[in-house]
């Protein structure tokens, strides 16, 4: 099975020039800076891919290529402020402002007024905030190894931020986006905890068996995701036991199929 999946990924990479040729990269002005969007054209409800902390939109390239073979929706990845090709307004950088800027950019793209999200890791925080701002517009989402509200409590958020404190100056030189992500980590986590319980959107939560954490922290991470998935009846939980944190690298077909399944389900209902 893994060999079969590897062959498909190799073929997709070989066909990368075709996929790239169909992708439109656009810098969208959201005020004092521009955000870079990579858009694979399609019709109907768009799928927005929200990257994890430290990643830009290119992390989704192979998965987008696979999903595009199964559905013809607009597939949109973007670089959050300060990452890759996107600019940043360092005077107004926090999760709430970034989500407003994303809303602004999507409105400018003149897309269908409904959205479907795919979010990885810390990207789940941003997706949840977007959903809480637009509960009637977001029809479904697939969350991949996101940080759950139970796991990322106030104490752990401070601990996580402090892991990077001694390296901040070097981080600032290498990635202004990641620098501000670290500075804002406690606020980003607090916002996620505040909005998580209000989300009624149908979700699939995909968890990796080999999370970035070990020992008891791994158990807590997974139990937090499982508990989050059980809070509403319209949520599905999938544990991929042999996958690491980037589940869509280890099991791309499984992830793509679940995106397509939930997308088709909510699209037919709305």
pLDDT in tens, 157-199: 999 999 999 999 999 999 999 999 999 999 999 999 999 999 9
State pTM to two decimals.
0.90
Average pLDDT over all residues of the chain: 91
Read off φ and ψ for residue 152, nearest 5 degrees: -90, 70
Look at residue 143 and give its three-state secondary structure.
strand
What is residue 37's predicted lDDT score, i.e. its pLDDT?
97
Q: Name the pLDDT band for 215 (thresholds 50, 70, 90).
A: very high
- What are the tokens at 85? 């090709």
Condensed to tens digits (0 to 9), the pLDDT of residues 91-124 reads 989 999 999 999 999 999 999 889 999 999 999 9
Residue 1 predicted with pLDDT over 60: no
Read off φ and ψ for residue 163, nearest 5 degrees: -60, -25
Condensed to tens digits (0 to 9), the pLDDT of residues 33-63 reads 999 999 999 999 999 999 999 999 999 999 9
Find out whether 86 and 34 touch, Cβ atoms under 8 Å.
Answer: yes
All structural domains of the chain, each given as residue ranges with its CATH number in brackets, are: 2-269 (3.40.50.1820)
Find out whether 269 and 202 touch, Cβ atoms under 8 Å.
Answer: no
**Could you give the CA distance from residue 110 to residue 171 in angstroms, rounded to a whole number?**
36
Q: Does 3 or 78 have the greater pLDDT score?
A: 78
Closest to 23 measured CA to CA, from 10, 11, 36: 36
Measured N-to-C along each axis, helices 123-133 and 95-108 cross at an angle, to the nearest 10 degrees, of 70
Q: Name the pLDDT band for 269 (thresholds 50, 70, 90).
A: confident
Residue 2 predicted with pLDDT over 70: no
Residue with tokens 């916002």: 191
Rg (CA), the chain: 18
């Amino acid at each position: 099975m893994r060999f079969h999946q590897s062959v498909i990924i190799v073929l997709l990479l070989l066909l990368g020039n075709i996929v790239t040729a169909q992708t439109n990269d656009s810098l969208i002005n959201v005020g004092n800076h521009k955000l870079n969007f990579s858009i694979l054209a399609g019709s109907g409800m768009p799928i927005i891919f929200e990257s994890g902390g430290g990643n830009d939109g290119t992390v989704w390239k192979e998965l987008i290529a696979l999903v595009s073979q199964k559905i013809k929706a607009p597939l949109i990845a973007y670089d959050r402020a300060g990452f890759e090709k996107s600019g940043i307004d360092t005077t107004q950088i926090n999760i709430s402002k970034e989500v407003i800027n994303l809303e602004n950019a999507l409105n400018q793209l003149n897309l269908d007024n409904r959205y479907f999200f795919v979010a990885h890791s810390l990207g789940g925080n941003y997706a949840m905030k977007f959903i809480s701002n637009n509960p009637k517009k977001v029809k479904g989402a697939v969350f991949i190894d996101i940080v759950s509200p139970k796991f990322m409590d106030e104490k752990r958020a401070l601990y996580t931020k402090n892991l990077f404190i001694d390296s901040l100056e070097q981080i600032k030189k290498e990635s202004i986006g990641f620098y501000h992500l670290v500075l804002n980590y406690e606020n980003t986590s607090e916002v996620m905890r505040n909005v998580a319980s209000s989300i009624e959107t149908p979700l699939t939560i995909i968890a990796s068996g080999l999370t970035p954490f070990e020992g008891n922290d791994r158990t807590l991470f997974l139990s937090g995701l499982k508990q989050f998935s059980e809070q509403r009846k319209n949520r599905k939980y999938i544990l991929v036991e042999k996958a690491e944190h980037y589940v869509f690298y280890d099991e791309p077909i499984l992830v793509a199929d679940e995106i397509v399944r939930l997308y088709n389900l909510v699209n037919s209902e709305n």
